[in-house]
Structure 1
Amino acid sequence: MQLAPIIIFAFNRPDSLKNTIQSLLENEEAKNSDLYVFVDGARTNKSGEQDKVNAVQTYTKSIKGFKSVHYNFSDKNKGLGNSIIQGVSQVINKYGKAIVLEDDLVFATNFLYYMNQGLEKYKEEKKVFSICGYSNKVKVPKEYTYDTYFCTRSSSWGWGTWADRWNSVDWELKDWNRYAKMGNAFNQWGGSDCFRMLRSVKEGWGNSWAIRFCFSQFLQNKLSLFPIISKVKNNGFDGDGTNCKKWSRFKYEFDNKGEKNILYPKSITLNLKLYKSAMSYHTILIRIYSRIMYLIHN
């Protein structure tokens, strides 16, 4: 099995990137994986940020332990959305698949095994849109014996996909007149916050690449694979992350065992109990509660 390249998007947090790299290196597969690191440029209106970006670039040049290390340093600030769309497109079309990470994630020791096995297992299963390494804590039915499950809305915290799925996304939302009529259906499919985020991209006050990826998944009626126990934890809730605040409504259990005997569902379908549990994090009531907690903790 040819291992998928690993793509990391970094910015202005050298210590976070070091933690990400160190946890990856604890995965046996790292030494046989090609690593690509994209570092965004500093914002001109942020005092001292250039020094932090320089520190990230310096550390990136020192990374060892992978099959190969490639890096790209942007002269100007592209923003996370544009950086990911451009960077992933560049690498995934060379390899046909990719594992995509950000610089505030920490991984279980079986993360790369799980990701590569999923990408290999489902590469010809067009119903599967992505392999996700992170999972919110879910209530597992007693009769459910698998280590993984399928859900609708992809997670952007440690994930992988294939070139054909990635290239199917309408990044520019060209057919907006048709899309604008799908708000309720999109929210029912992926959560109450979905269409507002999509609209923010179209209207220019948001730039989420992930919501456009999920919208394409919605249009094609495809599913993503998740682990029951998360193989990713997000350390970005320190107030410094681009899209994360100090408090999060998302709760998870982290895989500390590193088992590689992973059981997959026999069919690519939703387990309704697991689906409802996973989607409960995106209900209106939970989001309102989250906004209150954000105000308290930030």
Structure 2
Amino acid sequence: MSSESPITAPPAGSPACPPVLLIWFNRPDLAIQILDRVRLARPTRLYIAVDGARDPEGHPRDVELTRRCKELAASVDWPCEVRTRFSGVNQGCGRGPSNAITWFFSQEDHGIILEDDCLPDPSFFPFCAELLARHADHEDVMHINGNNFAPENPETIYEGYSYGFARYAQAWGWASWARAWKHFDYEVSGIQEDSPEVFATAGLDRFRQQAHRERVLSTLGEHHHDVWDYQWQYCVLRRGGLCISPAVNLISNLGFGEDATHTKDPTCNVACASTGSMKFPLKQPPERRESPAINRLYADKMLGDASRYRKKAIKRWIRGILGIKKAAKS
């Protein structure tokens, strides 16, 4: 279900809304909903990127739909500097968003990124504003998640704090800094040579992160670079970065359906998840360290059930043992 929290303005006394980047393509009905939430936050600088239409023979509605998305830029009705990046060609859902984010961070040192299907709770904006400022100089913190998949037991997972730290960068509404994005490499140069030691996390989670490396390789090799968030996630993992995760789910992804590129199953258990409102002042965790419980929450939802990685790890271990024995006999 969609957001259940009341639609109210950010709390009084909250920091000014950071610059916001909106990434749109051909879903103006969703884009309008996202813009309405941004209107509540009233950023003074708003960036809007719209990708170009695809081949009209295969996608005859794209020209009209992208035109409607571009026209939304003129509906910004609060004091705000609006900057647009309207592509004349279709860059795809890999290059399009990543090029837009690079454009954004070439002009801002921090900010919020929302794609057209990521509906934020109003409290998402002051949450990001406060933590972008608080962790601006903490190089190890690279990403602020808005989505936490609405777990059933957040009090246990987050130990009563307003947020925690994990290794997984979730891209359904997020914030970051130019200092972190500068490490993004769309081609993931050097991934073939990366050894298991590239991952700082120990235990089962290490194997899941290795599996993510394999997924990135598979995606880049077989699916024509139709993603960008796999590469960003790998960048964060490779650098041992920390990702802030809110104890309240602040983003609902409305984009599940047949017209989506990747999220086609509307019955998926993370589709249109309920959101809540973050309470202020924030309860700060006492130190910056990854939480195994939050790691598990994100890894289970993003990379799949832990049991499959246990099986893979055991099989890899057995093959390694057998390989050593065979080598000893020869």
- If the TM-score is normalised by the length of the shorter chain, which range does it land in? 0.7 to 0.9
Instruction: Number of aligned residue pairs: give it.
Output: 283
1:48 alignment partner in structure 2: 61
Unaligned ranges ≥5, structure 2: 1-14, 309-330
Choose the corresponding residue for 1:173, options 188, 211, 214: 188
* Counterpart residue number, 2:319: none
Question: 1:3 offset after TM fit, Å?
Answer: 4.6
**TM-score (normalizing by structure 2):** 0.77
Alignment check: 8 A CA contact 1:102 1:158 kept: yes
What do the CA deviations read for 1:173-232 (whole angstroms, capped 9, x no partner)? 2213313x4499699345686234311343251432111111111111111001111111
1:164 aligns with 2:179: yes
1:250 lines up with 2:270 in the alignment: yes
Asked if the contact 1:192–1:284 (Cα under 8 Å) also holds between the matched residues in 2, the reply is: no
Residue 245 of structure 2 is matched in structure 1 by 226
1:132 aligns with 2:145: yes
Instruction: Indicate the larger mover: 79-88 or 271-280.
Output: 271-280
Larger radius of gyration: 2
SS in structure 2 of the partner of residue 106 of structure 1: strand
Which residue of the other structure, out of 46, 49, 53, is the alignment partner of 1:38?
Answer: 49
TM-score normalised to structure 1 length: 0.85
Q: What secondary structure does 2:106 align onto?
A: helix
1:236/1:48 CA distance change after superposition, 3 Å: same
Q: Is the 8 A contact 1:157 1:234 kept in 2?
A: yes
Instruction: Say whether 1:194 aligns with 2:236.
Output: no
Aligned mates of 2:85, 2:93 — CA distance in 1:
14
Look up the match of 2:316: none
Gaps of 5+ in 1: 289-298
Deviations 1:76-102 (A, max 9, x none): 100122122221112212221121110
Structure 2 match to 1:209 = 228
CA–CA distance in structure 2, aligned partners of residues 37 and 287 of structure 1: 41
* CA RMSD, Structure 1 to Structure 2 (Å): 2.7
Which residue identity does 1:90 align to in structure 2? Answer: W
Which residue, 239, 242, 267 being the options, matches 2:287?
267
Distance of 2:113 and 2:303 partners within structure 1? 27
Match of 1:296 in 2: none
Pairwise CA distance, 1:263: 1.4
Whole-angstrom distance in 2 between the partners of 1:283 and 1:217? 15
Aligned partner letter, 2:234: F
Query: Larger deviation: 55-64 or 13-22?
Result: 55-64
Share of identical aligned residues, percent? 18
- Given that 2:158 and 2:164 are in contact with CA atoms closer than 8 Å, whether structure 1 keeps it comes out as no
| 1:99-137: CA deviation from partner (whole Å, max 9, x where unpaired) | 111011211121110111111111111111111111112
Runs of 4+ in 1 over 6 A off after TM superposition: none
**Corresponding position of 2:37:** 23
Q: In the alignment, is the contact (CA less than 8 A) between 1:42 and 1:49 conserved in 2?
A: yes
SS in 2 for 1:171: coil
